[in-house]
Amino acid sequence: MTKTLRDRIPAPIRTAVSNSARTYGRLTVSGRLLPGFLICGGQRCGTTSLYRALQQHPAILKPNLHKGVHYFDTSYHKGLSWYRAHFATRGTARRIQDQTGLVPMAYESSPYYLYHPLARERFARDLPGIKVIVLVRDPVERAWSQHAHEVARGFEDITDFEAALAAEPERLAGEDARLAADPSYYSFSHQHHAYRARGQYSQYLTKLAELIGEERILVLDSGQFFTRPEESFERVMRFLSLPWIGCVDFRKHNGRGRPSPMSPQLRHQLTEFYEPFDAELGKWLGHTPSWRI
């Protein structure tokens, strides 16, 4: 695998640079932006590719260090000043506005926000008027991709996908309720081992809409985003009330291969399981999901 420039920098140096940036961010927090929109999932649905396409727009400002800040799910105890320190200064925003005539927007992408039971109400409260973009893909492929991703990162020791699916109900039993009841509680399995559950997109979207309204949610079909990226990107620009400026590289990022094929029996079982959820999702997309055509 080809290493990025960041990968070639020694870990101690990366840590020192990251700590210095966070310290500077905290010292200048009062003059920093908060996000105007969030990419909230779904996980393994093309969020990294959309994030990198959007960061090419001159009036869309990414976080200073990482794609996902994970404030509203796992770091909420650190406080809003800590969160604000991750974003661009108002001075930077003013310079961009002078150059482009556009009011810049900050953003970040943390896919776990869609799934954590407290994240939605937190950003609905702390970021009034926030807009949310959610990407969705074939939930069977999404679950399979997530499992391969977690195994590769060392977060999953059940390397057989079907066995991991079988273990999911016991691993997640009661975790949603515990997370909702105790803001200090953290569940490793809820964050990393929810393979089947996360493809039930319509359930999460309904809960999100109850807090911020359907009009502030844009749902994109990842199949269409990767085959006709210009059309999807134009929809995003309209949703954010921004003009499309400049050329955009729509390269696919963060893809991952599978160690072995999925059995036809398991694929059929999962496809049937998701059928009612996909039917509900069609109402959000305004069309039948691409994987059901």
Closest CA to 207 of 113, 142, 138, 144: 113
DSSP assigned state of 125:
H
pLDDT score recorded for residue 79: 97
pLDDT at 154 over 80: yes
Question: What residue ranges define each of the domains in the chain, with the CATH number in brackets?
Answer: 10-292 (3.40.50.300)
Percentage of residues in the chain having pLDDT higher than 90: 82
Per-residue pLDDT band for 26 (boundaries 50, 70, 90) equals: low
φ/ψ of 70, rounded to 5, equals 55, 40
Distance CA 159, CA 253 (A): 23
pLDDT score recorded for residue 254: 66
**Distances 117 to 177, 197, 208, 244, 289 between C-alpha atoms, Å:** 8, 13, 10, 34, 25
Mean confidence (pLDDT) of the chain: 90
pLDDT score recorded for residue 30: 80
What is this structure's pTM? Answer: 0.88
Q: What Rg value do the Cα atoms of the chain yield, rounded?
A: 19
290 vs 5, more confident: 290
pLDDT score recorded for residue 15: 45
pLDDT score recorded for residue 21: 44
pLDDT at 127 over 90: yes
pLDDT at 192 over 70: yes
pLDDT score recorded for residue 212: 98
User: What DSSP element (H or E) covers 217?
Assistant: strand 217-221
pLDDT score recorded for residue 6: 47
pLDDT score recorded for residue 10: 57
Could you tell me the two tokens for 221?
């079909």
Q: Peptide bond preceding 46: is omega within 30 degrees of 0, i.e. cis?
A: no
